[in-house]
Every structure is written in C-alpha cells, then in structure tokens.
Structure 1
C-alpha cells in the first residue's frame, strides 16, 4: 500500500484531461477551473495552471466603495484574486476538502476564510458580525453569495449539514461553522458556564444561534482565524 513505480504513480495521480466542466473536482482537495474568461478565487489559492492565464489582485475599488470600507473594518477580510484568460487553473487551500455548489437563483453565506472560488456571475457582499467584535480575535465576517453560478468552499475534513427547522434553534461553535443558507441570520450568545470547555477569545463561550428554516454547514475542526491586522 502506497508503493508505486513512477509510471503507476503518474497514471494514478495525473489530471483527467477528459473533464471539461467549468469547476471540476480533480481530487477532493484540488479544484480544476476550466477557464475561458474570468474567475474569482481566494488570494494564494493557485497551485498550478496551463494555458494563457493572467492573475490580478483585487483592486481597491474593484467591487465598489462600500465593500472597500467593509474590508477595512474587517481587517482586510478575504483578499480575492481574479484569473483571466483561457486554460486550466488548479486551486487549493491548505489541503482542505473542497465542495462545489451550483446556485440557481439561490444564496448562501460562507465564512470568509472558507470561500475558495466563485463565478463572476455570482453577486457577493461582505457582512460584518458586529456582535462578535472584541470577543473573537478574527473570523468577524462572512460573504453572502447569490445568483446563478458555481461556488467552491473548503472545509477541514468532511462537512456535516444541520437542518434548521421552525421552532428548533440550532447552536454552533463559530470556529467550526462554515456556511449557512442565505435566508438565515445567525444571532450570537455567550455562555459563561461553558467557558472552561468552549471558546477561544475572551474565555467566554460564543455560540451562533440559527432559527427559522434552512441549513448550517459545520466542520469537525475548530479553526482559529488570523486577524488581518499586522
């Protein structure tokens, strides 16, 4: 197990040239973008490419003044990179598992640290989690994506989707919360009694509370976010 000749290894791990979807999971941890135009991705996610592709850091006013101010308030937030041209682009993020969604006039909110890539047809906006400012050292924002097109997110290990039903509030650890349906607006609560067991910020347990009808995606890993401040 795990021993190959060089030819066997190449055959087992090489890219599949027959796949031609716009977003294609080359492996569960590598996203192939069959690019013929533009795509937005997380800064630093490019690991390889072929063809004629140019990369450009998101300009300050690329998405309008309002989003620039939100990024400043969140300590940069998620920096985006635009890839333009024609070719094959390979994206990954620290070996995290990748999931691709096809949005059809739908919306999803994604933790800014867990957004990998999305089509230019997708509209997006940054939402600040103001109530968590001063409690957590980072991860204070999420990105709302809506419209029609493909979105790729990342998780540590296998994600689990929790259904939110009317009258049944779902509580999650913010560090383990990846995404949720766009119609839900989480509330935040602190619980001093559990501070010994949960929470990484001020010593209090910070929980996200989801009420209504929708879904929440969590991961079996508490991710510590890095502040955007130097």
Structure 2
C-alpha cells in the first residue's frame, strides 16, 4: 500500500498518515494537521479490528503523488528523496498538502480545489496549481459590467477548468466554505473568493436601502453548490431571529438571503459638529437567518486619525 492519508482507523480523527508500513502520529481534522500517537501496533492475529488498524483500505490519494510523507526530517517524503537530506519544520509533514475531493481548506487561509467541474475564482487569487489547469477571464456580461460600474459592487472573476489542484488565497485572509443547497446568500463582493459554476450570481440592491440614502448593493449567489468567502480576522455569526440585529456596513460579510433588511441612521447634530460617533449608518436585519460580521471595517485610509 502506497504511503498517503487515509481514514483514521481509530475513529478519533478524519485522516491519519500511513507511511507504507505503519500508521504514523500525523492526523488531519477539518483541514488542520496535528499529531496524536496511535500507540503500539496490534499483534498478528489480533482479529479483524487489528487487521484494519495495520493497513488502510484502498483509497485514491492526492493528484499524482501528493500529500507527502509526514515523518521527522521528511527526507523520504513524496515517494522519494525530494528534500535531499534537508530537515526542519517546513518539511517534516506539518505543512504538507491536505488531500481531499472538491473544495477544501488547506489551512485557515488557503483554499484548495480539486477540479471536478469548472469553478469561478477571484482574479489574481491563484497562488499555485498542479496538473493541466486553464484560467479564463469571466466578464459576466454587459449587464453585470454596467451594474459594477454604477454601484461599485461586483466580482472580478476568472473561470478555472481542467484537471488538477488549484490553491487560492487572498492576502492571508481567513477562508471559510459554505455549502448552498437550493438556497441563496448575500455576500459583499470583496469577500467572495471562489464558488462553483453551478451557482448563479448577480448584483442586487439591498432591500430597504433606497436611492435617497445612497443605496447599498451586494452580490447574491443562488442555487446549489459551494462558495468560499474571506474574512479579515475570525468572524462572528449572529442569529437575527434572537433579537433585532444591526451591523456596520463595512463590517458585514454575508447574510441569509431571506432576511428582511433596512438602513438605520443614527446621524445627529452631534455627529456634524466636533467628534461624532463615526457610526452613522447600519444595516438592520430581521427574520429567520444569520448575519456574518468580521472584526474589521476595512483598511484605514491614509491620513485618517
């Protein structure tokens, strides 16, 4: 059996590394690598459970010979002496590629997509790929181009297709994957990293944000598929059904498409003279659904105090 990641025979973790002769201490849960010694190997004749613990079931590995062998020093990783006698934390296996189908997290700040069908990604977000992969500019049509020009909202996308693995990131922001099942989500365009081509996207005015207030636009994704979004820092998910919920327009990442929205202004005379609160307009949410906010309101503009 070739060395690769396989379902953990102990059932404690999602994946455990088989080095070709025995299970190692290296494990993976939700895309994050860690170590957990498996203990002494079962003796021969230890029953069916012992047989399963000694050798993994046949399973496809990474694209080609990916994944690497996470042993100390890593000299024998990736099926050969590719590290040339080097050792260290970068090549001892803890940063090796995490294998898996479809869209998955390589780590908290990098998305890995094994191409099974074309998908859309933010232009310039590709950091590496393996295999025969093609990238094409995706304009979205004249309608979306005009909406983007008029509203400032929208996506600069590329279509990714072919065979292989693509690694995607956006300035080391945190990456999160959502599965959309015959539903929809409203996302700030700057927070969209990638999504399956089966989803339909459009630029829409936020309900309750009229022209008189300057308007507010967001990107909506509808249908069935996956979407990867980014946040500046660890986000918080609020349940709008628990209480009236309000969020700063620059801190909002996404929300359930079925929520009722409106703009609430707290502007007063005190905000016009001297030091105001700086929080003049918020989006109000109500109904059954969630709101995702990030601990950031965007990068500060040069010269601001």
Q: Is the 8 A contact 2:261 2:283 kept in 1?
A: yes
Match of 1:51 among 123, 128, 131: 131
Q: Is the 8 A contact 1:70 1:128 kept in 2?
A: no
Distance 1:160-1:110 versus aligned 2 partners, 3 A rule: same
Q: Which residue of 2 aligns with 1:29?
A: 109
SS in 2 for 1:95: coil
Match of 1:172 among 228, 247, 271: 247
SS in 1 for 2:158: strand
Q: Is the 8 A contact 1:170 1:209 kept in 2?
A: yes
* 1:181 and 2:256 are equivalent in the alignment: yes
RMSD between aligned alpha carbons? 2.5
Q: CA deviation at 1:174?
A: 0.8
Q: CA deviation at 1:71?
A: 1.9
Q: Which residue of 1 aligns with 2:233?
A: 157
* Cα shift readout 1:90-139 (whole Å, capped 9, x = no counterpart): 11111111110111111111111101110011111111356478869xxx
Q: Which residue of 2 aligns with 1:202?
A: none
Cα distance in 2 for partners of 1:160, 1:217 equals: 6
* Cα shift readout 1:17-65 (whole Å, capped 9, x = no counterpart): xx22210100010000001331101111111111111111113xxx444
- Greater length-normalized contact order (CA 8 Å, ≥ 6 residues apart): 1
Cα distance in 2 for partners of 1:171, 1:8 equals: 44
Cα distance in 2 for partners of 1:134, 1:44 equals: 33
Q: Is the 8 A contact 1:174 1:207 kept in 2?
A: yes
Q: Calculate the TM-score normalised by the size of structure 2.
A: 0.63
Q: CA deviation at 1:180?
A: 0.3
> Is the radius of gyration larger for structure 1 or structure 2?
2
Q: CA deviation at 1:213?
A: 1.8
User: Which has the larger strand fraction?
Assistant: 1
Query: Would you say how many aligned residue pairs link Structure 1 and Structure 2?
Result: 209
For 1:70-219, list aligned pairs within 5 A. 70-75=147-152, 77-129=154-206, 131=210, 140-165=216-241, 168-193=243-268, 195=271, 196-199=276-279, 205-219=280-294
Q: Is the 8 A contact 2:154 2:219 kept in 1?
A: no
Q: Which residue of 2 aligns with 1:8?
A: 89
Q: Calculate the TM-score normalised by the size of structure 1.
A: 0.81
Cα distance in 1 for partners of 2:113, 2:198 equals: 15
* Cα shift readout 1:59-79 (whole Å, capped 9, x = no counterpart): 3xxx44432321221247321
Q: Is the 8 A contact 2:153 2:218 kept in 1?
A: no
